[in-house]
A and B are shown apart, each in its own frame.
Chain A
Amino acid sequence: MTRLTVRNLTKSFGKIEVIRGIDLDVADGEFVVFVGPSGCGKSTLLRMISGLETISGGELWIGDRKVNEVQAAKRGLAMVFQSYALYPHLTVRQNMGFGLKVRKESPDEIERRVNEAARTLQLDKLLDRYPRELSGGQRQRVAIGRAIVGDPQVFLFDEPLSNLDAELRVHMRAEIAALHRRLGNTTIYVTHDQIEAMTLADRIVVLRDGRIEQVGSPKELYARPDNVFVAQFIGSPKMNVCPVEAIRSPLQRAGFSTGGATQAGLRPEHLRIVDEAEGILCGRVSISEYTGGGALLHVELEGAPVFLVENSGDDAPQPGDIVHLAFSGSDLHLFDAEGRACHREPELA
């Protein structure tokens, strides 16, 4: 039963405020991902939770304990670092047992727990190697092993996959997900990669400039982003956003009300190429990028903005072709002048 409670947390370095009042509740066993562009404060927030960074203001609770001034090692957390941070002068076995040794566990107990973790992560054969003798994926696994031997209440991951190549990243992502299903620990995971966030998270926290932009399940963030920033950050390729003004008449012709919205957003994967009769928007293809399964089209609309359109199938239009685009009303996102979402009431639609 380890929940994590963050109340109005702030952090400043001198006059520069990097975390500007974060409120967050993480439930027991939940997998929460902090995501955001670089410099958004996600790593700082994680480090404040870990105790590696001091807290300037607000409160941090782990379980029933306020831990603002509790030292990192005494918070009951374990952390997996981006660079793995394996001690180069110690073997895998010593690396994994190091924390237990510092905490004065008996050698037998250390041995037992290291072996158990090694079995879980298939590290048995590597225990007497040094970190420099391991591949990137193996190092990553040792780093996770070191985190689980201490049997922590909460796992923290700081961009753990960003040093791996693309293939290994997908593989380790699945392993981390499986590990979480098995161990069920509360987990906080920091990444700048929104696909990692979408695939792993129970809930995603989108951060920007030291503030939370939105918290929600991957589905919520994708389907109902609170603002333009989240709308464009989640999803790849990113959402097309243009002033409502530019496409007002086609929208009206198709019967979509725009209310007081000033910006409209449509995801590339929600735009279908259709016959002229069904088409809502119309434009000329300027670039067609072949992606294997289909093509990513850059379509210049009449009203000026360029929309990305995902087109599956082989018969992709060529540059210069005129295409007609359609979409369903539920996929149209509308935002006000400040970029906040204008949620239309579903029953009225």
Chain B
Amino acid sequence: MALSQPQLATVKRTCWMLSLVVVAIPFLFPFLWMISSGFKGPTEIFGEPTLIPRTWRWQNFVEVFDYQPFARQYFNSIYIACAVTVLTLLLSSLAGYALARMRFAGAALLMVFLMSALMVPEEVTIVPNFFLMKWLGVMDTHVPLILLPVFGPHGVMATFLMRQYFVALPKELEDAGKMDGLSRVGIWWKIALPMSRPALAAVAIITFLFSWNLFLEPLVFLSSLENFTLPLALSNFTDPYGAPLWHLQLAATSLAVVPILIVYLIAQRQIIESFAMSGVKG
């Protein structure tokens, strides 16, 4: 029996959706598994895998805080990411504004100079930065974790993103500001910034996540547990022989990931657009 045109379309669409669902499994599955395993006991976790734990072991989420100063580490990550974000917003918008709008000698050269940073991986400069931080006496503090993202390639990327946005703003508004008697700083603060909320939001989102997920720098610069940031802390749930304590590690990972995921789900459109903005520019 031949299918009618609309029936055929329905079949096609169903197949289509089904294949998308299949492709989505390896993207979604790890999150589900992470959360469910975070509730399992140390023995069940090695048993036959089930998505729903047979016994819910809430205790994991208490033990996580006993095993390491996890609350402290959580707080470290939050405040470092906030500091990096605020500093990056401030400095990248200042420099980006100058590069977009001010006609000053050397500006073009400076652009090329800064741009060269975009292609140098952090791994290249981490060794000298290690000695620099040692010399400054800030090893095992959060200073390097704040300074390096702000002034490294990520900061340069943010500067360019801001610059691209400022370039496209109507210039006459700033001229009006000048005629009204605003200083350069006044124009930047009272006119350019209020009109650049989308770009500022994009830089803020990307920068926060960049700092939040940073791993190499904490690994190199931090040594005491109470100074750890989340990614470093997560990798540290091991028994004395270095084997992972899965139930704790996955519970802790869930605690670290789920809040970000919730924010992501609420603001997914804005967050995805922010990444698109930064990517298109590169």
Contact = CB atoms under 8 A, between A and B. Distances in A.
Direct contact of A and B (CB under 8 A): yes
A81 B171 CA distance: 11
Contacts of B182: 73, 102
B195 A73 contact: no
A218 B170 CA distance: 34
A42 to B, nearest CB: 16
B172 A83 contact: yes
A98 interface: yes
A187 to B, nearest CB: 15
A81 B176 contact: yes
Interface residues of A, number: 25
B205 interface: no
Contacts of B194: 87, 89
Contacts, number: 53
Given A87-B191, A88-B195, A89-B194, A73 B180 contact: yes
B181 A103 contact: yes
Interface in A239-256: none
Nearest to A104: B181
A102 B190 CA distance: 11
B175 A85 contact: yes
Contacts of A73: 178-182
A79 interface: yes
Interface in B173-222: 173, 175-182, 186, 191, 194-195
B181 A52 contact: no
A145 interface: no
Contact of A79 (B170, B179, B181): B179
A103 B179 CA distance: 11
A50 B172 contact: no
B175 A99 contact: no
A191 B182 CA distance: 27
For the residues of B in contact with A, the DSSP-based class is helix
Interface string A71-93: 11110011101111111110000
Interface string A45-59: 001001110000000
A146 B176 CA distance: 10
Interface residues of B, number: 15
B173 A87 contact: yes
Contacts of B181: 73-74, 99, 102-103
Contacts of A86: 176
B173 A89 contact: no
Contacts of A50: 175, 179
Nearest to B174: A85
Given A81-B172, A87-B191, A98 B178 contact: no
B173 A102 contact: no
A77 B173 contact: no
Contacts of A51: 178-179
A77 B176 contact: no
B7 to A, nearest CB: 49
Given A99-B181, A102-B181, A85 B176 contact: yes
A3 B170 CA distance: 31
Contact of B179 (A52, A83, A88): A52
A100 to B, nearest CB: 9
Contacts of A98: 180
A110 B182 CA distance: 17
Q: Which of B170, B175, B177, B195 has the most CB of A within 10 A?
A: B175
Contacts of B180: 73, 98-99, 102
Which 7 A-B pairs give the minimum distances between C-beta atoms?
A73-B181, A99-B180, A85-B172, A85-B176, A102-B181, A81-B172, A89-B194
Given A47-B175, A79-B175, 18 more contacts: A50-B179, A51-B178, A52-B179, A73-B181, A77-B179, A78-B179, A81-B172, A85-B170, A85-B172, A87-B176, A87-B177, A87-B191, A87-B194, A89-B194, A98-B180, A102-B180, A102-B182, A102-B186
13 contacts: A51-B179, A52-B179, A73-B178, A73-B181, A81-B172, A81-B175, A83-B172, A84-B172, A85-B175, A85-B176, A87-B176, A87-B177, A99-B181
